[in-house]
Chains A and B, each alone.
Chain A
Amino acid sequence: MASLVTLENGNEVDFTYLRDLLEVTDGNLGAHLRKLEEAGYIAVNKTFVERKPRTYVSATAEGRKVFQEHVVALEAILKSK
């Protein structure tokens, strides 16, 4: 999620590119993304590029908002230390 919200709003990233970036397996990333998609935090776009299937992932507006709230909450915990 941290990686997806770093992208500019409206940008989506290729699944294999994200997998290599995060250094995780296909299965691991797929499971994470499924949970985030079910929660409405990310959108998955399956398409064809040069006749090859490709999966693109992007953060939704709701996902960006919730992630920002999560970061603010973590910072608040640190400040109250």
Chain B
Amino acid sequence: MNVSPTEAEEALAAIQTIAQKTRHTIASGGTHISLIVTGIIWLAGFMSAQFLSGEIVIYLWIGLSLLGSILATGLNIRLSKRVHNLSASATAKRIGLIWLLLAVYCVAAIAVASPLDGKQLTVFIVLFVMLGYLSTGLLLSFSSVWPGLTIIALMLIGYFLFPGIFYLWMAILGGGGMIALGLYIRYRW
């Protein structure tokens, strides 16, 4: 290849710029919005669990979860039109089956273990959701497991070391962490 060092440097810089732009644009297509929305839901839900009491917290969580599910579905549909996986239908079936089995397993495990309080129930549910996230994430890419592992680690630290402020801990580090990661992907990645 008859290329001068200056030309090689320019070519590498152009490749780097395009690769970064592609990552950035694809992230702009949904990942960062999904993280920010989930982060806001966690922030609001766990804050309410820390400072409010009674049935209002349950209804708030149900409402927020439904809102999050609708937004996530909309975003995924939008993103799948731009970039889609060649083996998407087979993968989608496997992902759906994993979530279905996990939901059944989660209900069965909670029924048998009978968590004593809201904190234990929260940890149970989040552990199952994160197990689903990690399992399905691994079908798509290895890099997607890190946010899930971080959330599990933060949750366990909060549960065992700071039980008095567990919900506040989850709101700020779990919800806030997701918002920060979403903003990082949007503006820096």
Contacts and interface: CB of A to CB of B under 8 A. Distances in A.
Interface of A: 2-3, 5-8, 10-14, 17, 21-22, 45, 49, 54, 56, 58, 71, 73-75, 77-78, 80-81
**Main secondary structure on chain B at its contact with chain A?**
helix
Contacts of B157: none
B92 to A, nearest CB: 13
Contact of B19 (A3, A13, A17, A22): A3
B12 A74 contact: yes
Contacts of B83: 7, 11-14, 17
16 contacts: A2-B18, A3-B18, A3-B21, A5-B19, A8-B140, A11-B84, A12-B83, A12-B85, A13-B83, A14-B82, A14-B83, A17-B83, A49-B81, A71-B15, A75-B12, A77-B3
Contacts of B3: 74, 77
Interface of B: 1, 3-5, 8-9, 11-12, 14-15, 18-19, 21-23, 25-26, 81-87, 140-141
Nearest to B5: A81
Contacts of B9: 78
Contacts of B1: 73, 77
Nearest to B10: A74
Contacts of B5: 77-78, 80-81
Contacts of A3: 18-19, 21-22
Given A22-B18, A80-B5, 16 more contacts: A2-B15, A3-B22, A6-B18, A7-B22, A8-B85, A10-B85, A10-B87, A12-B85, A12-B86, A13-B83, A14-B83, A74-B8, A74-B15, A77-B4, A78-B8, A81-B5
